[in-house]
Amino acid sequence: KQQDLTLFDEIFQQMTEFKIDLIESWLDDQPLAGGAGEKIVELRAIPIKDRAALLAQTAPHANIRATGHGWCIATERGCGGAGLYEATRCPGCKNSVIDEVFASTWQDIYIQQRELIKIEDAGPAVRQRAERDLQVALDVITSLGLSPVEEMEEAAND
């Protein structure tokens, strides 16, 4: 049992250190997307007297989960996990933070939607959904200060 408690304490310490580093990166100048990401960007304007103390006090209690396309900080219901399966729901969610870690994921989502739009016999519903999701992905990419992949490739070929 003591060995289990020691292991648990080590894991908890590692998780806390990870959260401190992650939240600290959000408080720096990196661009953020998502509802909570936009709020964090606004809060950067408020001076923090002792950032290290604030992070040490806050991080152990912060709920932060990776979704594969962003970070979810929902403490209770949130979307009920639907954003795990439908990535384009997350950018509009008040509990999402999308940072540069997930930039390539959003580039891939953008590319997938462009490919879907090109399928002529997929039907109007697929086209409509792909166009909507293409715009969501584009909004995230530009919020992160980037350009869509193929636009960067086209510029390189010119």
12: its two tokens? 């908890």
Calpha distance 52→82 (Å, rounded): 34
Q: Cα separation of 136 and 100, whole Å? A: 16
Q: What is the pLDDT of residue 80?
A: 66
Percent of all residues in the chain with a pLDDT value above 70, rounded to a whole number: 91
User: Does residue 78 register a pLDDT over 90?
Assistant: no
Give the C-alpha separation, 106 to 88, whole Å: 9
Which one-letter amino acid corresponds to residue 12? F
Q: What is the pLDDT of residues 109-152, one digit of tens each?
A: 999 999 999 999 989 999 999 999 999 999 999 999 999 987 55
Q: Which pLDDT score, from 0 to 100, does residue 154 have?
A: 54
Q: How far apart are CA 22 and CA 106, in angstroms?
A: 19
Structure tokens at 110: 């953008």
Half-sphere exposure of 84 (CA within 13 A, CB side): 7
Question: Chain-wide mean pLDDT for the chain?
Answer: 90
Q: What average pLDDT does range 81-92 have in this prediction? A: 84
What pTM, to 2 d.p., does this model score?
A: 0.86
Q: 3 versus 73: which is more confidently predicted?
A: 73
**How confident is the model at residue 75, as a pLDDT?**
82
DSSP 57: H
Provide DSSP, 35-85. HHHHHHHHHTTS--S-HHHHHHHHGGG---EE-SSSEE--SS-TTTTHHHH
Rg for the chain, CA atoms, rounded = 19
Q: How high is the pLDDT of residue 57? A: 92
Query: Which domain covers residue 10, as residue numbers?
Result: 2-157
- Count of structural domains within the chain: 1
The residue type of 75 is T
What average pLDDT does range 53-62 have in this prediction?
92
